[in-house]
Structure 1
Amino acid sequence: MLEGTKINTPSQVSSIFDIAKDTVLFLVLSCYYILESLFWTLVPNVLRPMKSLNGDIILITGGGGGVGRQLAIKLARLGAKVVLWDINKEALKKTCSALRDEGYEVYSYVVDLADRTAVYSTAQKVKIEVGKVDILINNAGIVFGETFLDLNDAAIETTYKVNIISHYWTVKAFLPDMISSGKGHIVTVGSVAGLLGTYRCTDYSATKFATVGFHESLFTELRAHGHNTIHATLVCPYYINTGMFDGVTPRLMPMLEPDYVAETMIDSIRKNEVNCIMPGSVRYLLPLKCLLPAKMCWDLMHRVMKGPQSMMELKKKPAVV
């Protein structure tokens, strides 16, 4: 259709001038961005402008336990209308009961995120029974903790379906309404294991690496098309003490507690941050992976941090067939 359209290409001189102009503008803006970032890093949260979540409809996948449960409780206390999705019916009941005992309204749905049809049909129910989702938190995750050759095919497929492929279905279900209303927030829960390959996690780490790419590409598309009021936040926490990594004994840093992770996530959402890495010190170590020689990185991981050794104690999860 466009094959016969004549495209006016800029002259070489004009092109060089445009590149120079854009580069100078970028450098000037970069100084502002760095100073702005330093300023807000030093300012306590109590003095920062934080968006209100009062009245917002917030959907949390994997909301029955762990970090999802803590998010639900804390968000409800901030006045949000909480919608919980989980495959674990009993866990959902406990979380909903705790919220209702405090007098909060909560909606829950038993959903298998590995089932695309179930995700779409349940999303439609939410729209009818609750309303437009303002914030989507893709929190659900699964890990089997097997070395590559011990992972069966069903476990690999389940990990991918739950940890990343389901994000496509949930975001496709709720993003159009966010764009129509001009308000929305997509929260993608990744992991530090999605920034640094982890022993006994060839499936888990790969899916969490994929969440990083998913977030960055989605963020790029939203900004490129002018949807600046639709925010996207990537959350990459270290090991969390929820039972998912039961048995792991990190050498240099203790596991994070679900309460701390949920609180930090909510602060990040309210500040419309693009990236949230926990603990913050990890973000300063990650560049070493690219800057240092590969053998040096391995020795740091194996000899000093004892990463593989600590993961050897991970308790295996029930096999999937």
Structure 2
Amino acid sequence: MAPNVKSAKKVFVFLGKSVFSLLETMIFTLIPKPRKSVAGEIVLITGAGSGLGRLLALKFARLGAVLVLWDINKEGNEETCNMARDAGATRAYAYTCDCGRKEEVYRVADQVKKEVGDISILINNAGIVTGKRFLDCPDELIEKAFDVNFKAHLWTYKAFLPAMIANSHGHLVCISSSAGLFGVNGLADYCASKFAGYGFAESIFFELFAQKINGIKTTIVCPFFINTGMFEGCTTGCPSLLPILEPEYVVRKIVDAILQEKVYLCIPKFIYILMVLKSILPTKLILLIGDYVGAFHFMDGFVGKKKN
């Protein structure tokens, strides 16, 4: 085939696929995309001992999923496990695991594979926040933030992704943050770790696509700050646009996004607008907008709390 004809063919194929993708997006914006069933799927949730992780476990329990719950807090995790069984989980298993330690992740992952089976939905939810300005934050806390908020994603993917590829079936869920999209004063280590988690999840999504590995879905979640206790003392300058989110609402949105196999989920929707404005407006104007809505800073009363 002549080079010019071949090049023209590639352009037409690209344009055709682009138009189809745009039409599909428009249709599913107007008509909700059908939700898949997760009954019988083996769902692993890190940081399941409290907060968002616990609520996710209860939601998936009601949908008939098999639950594998990880948390460093043994008592809280076992409580979540019992609550999940009461909520209707066909099977639920609690494992004590420090997700920030590679060797422990691999050890518990091997135990899960032997005792439960291959994970089909992996939800990396565990996280910590120090709540200290960068120069006031001890090195060990910065390292811990990266270990839990980012590196744990590397080790869980290494542990469970091969089986998903072999089975041509799986779903990778990264609970990032709006702080993984925008820098926030007073949260340098947290933002860096969440940026890393977001970038890693997106890169694996593209890597799987480039290798034509089908059947494995990706969902990356970037919510504004959630009222789970991790961000106690945090306030927002414009509650109508960027409210402090209630965990039940966030969990409902996350589960819907997973069931509809959405790749990206930002909560609230105003974050999508901020992302566009950040890309096109002058820096000084972005700073003024961020200061007005409280998107890029915390009040001094904020106290970070660990969650894993």
TM-score normalised by the chain length of structure 2 = 0.93
Counterpart-to-counterpart distance in 2, 1:317 and 1:122: 25
Counterpart-to-counterpart distance in 2, 1:152 and 1:18: 58
Give 1:93 deviation, angstroms.
2.4
**Contact 2:231 / 2:304 at 8 angstroms: preserved in 1?**
no
Alignment match of 2:61 (pick from 69, 76, 85): 76
Partner of 2:22: 34
With 208-217 and 96-105 compared, the bigger mean Cα shift is at 96-105
2:153 pairs with 1:167: yes
Give 1:317 deviation, angstroms.
4.1
Partner of 1:4: none
2:279 pairs with 1:293: no
Give 1:123 deviation, angstroms.
0.3
Instruction: Output one character per residue of 1:123-151: Cα deviation in whole Å (capped at 9) or x when no partner.
Output: 01101111111100001111101111101
2:268 pairs with 1:283: no
Partner of 1:212: 198
Give 1:263 deviation, angstroms.
1.3
Do the aligned partners of residues 127 and 298 (structure 1) sit closer, same or farther apart at CA in structure 2, a change above 3 Å counting? same
Q: Secondary structure at the match of 1:286?
A: helix
Q: Secondary structure at the match of 2:231?
A: coil
Counterpart-to-counterpart distance in 2, 1:84 and 1:143: 21
Alignment of 1:257-276 (within 5 A): 257-276=246-265
2:183 pairs with 1:197: yes
Partner of 1:136: 122
**Contact 1:200 / 1:311 at 8 angstroms: preserved in 2?**
no
**Contact 2:61 / 2:85 at 8 angstroms: preserved in 1?**
no
Partner of 2:110: 124
**Contact 2:185 / 2:298 at 8 angstroms: preserved in 1?**
no
Letter in 1 for 2:24: E
Alignment of 1:56-67 (within 5 A): 56-67=41-52
**Contact 2:177 / 2:222 at 8 angstroms: preserved in 1?**
yes
Partner of 1:22: 10
2:147 pairs with 1:158: no
Counterpart-to-counterpart distance in 1, 2:107 and 2:260: 32
Counterpart-to-counterpart distance in 1, 2:202 and 2:88: 38
With 205-214 and 26-35 compared, the bigger mean Cα shift is at 26-35
With 203-212 and 90-99 compared, the bigger mean Cα shift is at 90-99
With 117-126 and 261-270 compared, the bigger mean Cα shift is at 261-270
Counterpart-to-counterpart distance in 2, 1:38 and 1:313: 43
Counterpart-to-counterpart distance in 2, 1:225 and 1:194: 26
Letter in 2 for 1:21: K
TM-score normalised by the chain length of structure 1 = 0.89
**Contact 1:199 / 1:311 at 8 angstroms: preserved in 2?**
no
**Contact 1:134 / 1:183 at 8 angstroms: preserved in 2?**
yes
**Contact 1:237 / 1:261 at 8 angstroms: preserved in 2?**
yes
Alignment match of 1:223 (pick from 192, 209, 228): 209
Give 1:20 deviation, angstroms.
4.0
Q: Secondary structure at the match of 1:28?
A: helix
**Contact 2:219 / 2:261 at 8 angstroms: preserved in 1?**
yes
Give 1:25 deviation, angstroms.
2.4
Counterpart-to-counterpart distance in 2, 1:282 and 1:307: 9
RMSD between aligned alpha carbons?
1.7
Letter in 2 for 1:175: L
Instruction: Output one character per residue of 1:15-61: Cα deviation in whole Å (capped at 9) or x when no partner.
Output: x65444323322232222112111101114xxx32111000000000
